[in-house]
Amino acid sequence: MISLKNISKTYTSENIKVEALKNISIEIEEGEICGVIGFSGAGKSTLVRCINLLEDPTSGKVFVDNQELTSLKSKELRNARKNIGMIFQHFNLMKSKTVFKNIAYPLKDSGLSKDQIKTRVYELLELVGLSDKASSYPNHLSGGQKQRVAIARALANNPKVLLCDEATSALDPQTTQSILKLLKDINKKLGLTIVIITHEMNVVKEICDKVAVMDNGYIVEQNDLIHIFTRPKTKVTKHFISTVFQENKIYELLEKDYFLKEIDEDELLAKIVFVGQNTGQAFISKISRQFKIDASILFGNIEIVQATPIGYLVVKLSGQIENILNVEKYLKENNIELEVIRHGKCNNKPTTKCS
Ligand SMILES: Nc1ncnc2c1ncn2[C@@H]1O[C@H](COP(=O)(O)OP(=O)(O)OP(=O)(O)O)[C@@H](O)[C@H]1O
């Protein structure tokens, strides 16, 4: 549905050049929800604004619904843009107009009669759960309600794509959940393709099928959600995953706790990540029995990602080095990821693998 091919974008102002996007390519399938995550300044907004050509790429091609937008003249582009709705962090509603008029606004040149517009607006109000707010003004609505109006307005022309630029960043966690649920419902009901820009992995975790991770103008990693969660490759992806599992807090605790910091020669501190069916297996007692090692669970967490449980444990394994290496091998063979945090034999240096 969306295809970006070798997109670069360089901003030039007062002779200063900023390369916001560097040769980016991504394919987003019809009906998919794709999250774009990255730190501030990574290029996320620029990327999403290149999809509807609110920003003109410096080079590269943009295709939406099999149409190359980058080759269109301005009138054709205006028409093509009706296929792409967009919502923003601060809602961008017209304060002096009622909810009804805000939603009706994009329909003004649609050729629909007054009655048809009224029917359409009420349909949209029902879709976003605000049937009783038609005559309210934006200032009398909560943040979540304002974003619902913005969603209704973005969907007025029956677009096939919805772009969401930090759409939940100004909302509290509970309202964020309700807006994400609404987006998921709309995605299912209308088969809408959705691109969500965010800096929160919890948002991605909640509704995305696929994730693109951005850093310094590049997409450094893109994959389906479970893959990103269980086998992140880059440092920046690992950082975002760790925010969900609260990994940083775990490491802080480990640093503070003298006894864990100074583990014995025959001890190993490791992170174990396991997915789906593996979460139900008694692999801790299995490795303990089979390889004659002691295994203590120091921290544990199971997150549900797209209806798939992902388990995360920090364990201390004690035993002979050969046995511990066999444990590593066994877990790998069973598709369970083990990452060494610290090994006693390596003078407690973090993330050092011993053999
Ligand atoms: N209109 C502009 N003129 C010049 N530079 C710009 C412009 N818009 C963005 N930039 C620069 O391009 C880079 C990418 O910005 P962008 O807003 O796309 O990042 P972002 O990941 O969306 O950041 P944030 O999460 O803070 O919104 C930044 O270095 C930014 O300063």
Give 325 or 73, the one with higher predicted confidence.
73
**Could you report the predicted ipTM of this complex, rounded to two decimals?**
0.97
69 with 62: CB under 8 angstroms?
yes
Helical residues (DSSP H) of the chain, grouped into ranges: 44-51, 74-81, 99-104, 114-127, 143-155, 173-190, 201-207, 225-230, 235-245, 247-256, 258-261, 283-291, 321-333
User: 3-class SS at 340?
Assistant: strand
Nearest-5° Cα angle at 79, 75 to 85: 135
50 with 224: CB under 8 angstroms?
no
pLDDT of 260 reads 64
102 with 138: CB under 8 angstroms?
yes
Separation of 47 CA from ligand 1 center, angstroms? 10
Q: Is any atom of ligand 1 closer than 6 Å to the C-beta of 46?
A: yes
CA of 47, closest atom in ligand 1: 18
Token representation of residue 333: 């063979």
Separation of 40 CA from ligand 1 center, angstroms? 8
Query: pLDDT at residue 264 above 50?
Result: yes
| CA–centroid distance for 291 within its chain | 39
Q: Is any atom of ligand 1 closer than 6 Å to the C-beta of 217?
A: no
DSSP letter string over 15-81? TEEEEEEEEEEEEE-TT-EEEEEE-TTSSHHHHHHHHTTSS--SEEEEEETTEEGGG--HHHHHHHH
Q: What is the mean pLDDT of residues 329-343?
A: 82
Name the average pLDDT for the chain.
88
Query: pLDDT at residue 180 above 60?
Result: yes
Query: pLDDT at residue 280 above 60?
Result: no
pLDDT of 218 reads 96
Q: Is any atom of ligand 1 closer than 6 Å to the C-beta of 45?
A: yes
User: 3-class SS at 309?
Assistant: strand
Q: Is any atom of ligand 1 closer than 6 Å to the C-beta of 42?
A: yes
Report the run of H or E that residue 298 belongs to, with start and end: strand 294-305
Separation of 150 CA from ligand 1 center, angstroms? 23
User: Which residue, 64, 37, 52, 23, is CA-closest to 210?
Assistant: 37
Domains of the chain: 2-236 (3.40.50.300), 246-346 (3.30.70.260)
pLDDT of 258 reads 54
pLDDT of 265 reads 77
Which pLDDT band holds residue 141 (cuts at 50, 70, 90)?
Answer: very high
Q: Looking at 153-157, 254-258, 263-267, 277-281, which range is the least confident one?
A: 277-281
CA of 214, closest atom in ligand 1: 21
Which pLDDT band holds residue 250 (cuts at 50, 70, 90)?
Answer: confident
CA torsion sign for 42, 43, 45, 48 is: negative
Q: Looking at 83-97, 103-117, 161-175, 235-249, which range is the least confident one?
A: 235-249
Separation of 43 CA from ligand 1 center, angstroms? 6
Mutation to probe ligand 1, out of 12, 21, 45, 166 (largest number of atoms < 8 A from CB): 45
User: Which residue, 180, 216, 182, 218, is CA-closest to 198?
Assistant: 180
Q: Is any atom of ligand 1 closer than 6 Å to the C-beta of 90?
A: no
Separation of 46 CA from ligand 1 center, angstroms? 6
**Rounded distance, CA 337 to CA 320, Å?**
20
217 with 188: CB under 8 angstroms?
no
Atom 29, ligand 1: residue with shortest CA distance: 41
Atom 3, ligand 1: residue with shortest CA distance: 11
Q: How many residues does the chain have?
A: 355
pLDDT tens, position by position, 284-318? 888 888 888 888 888 888 888 888 888 888 888 88
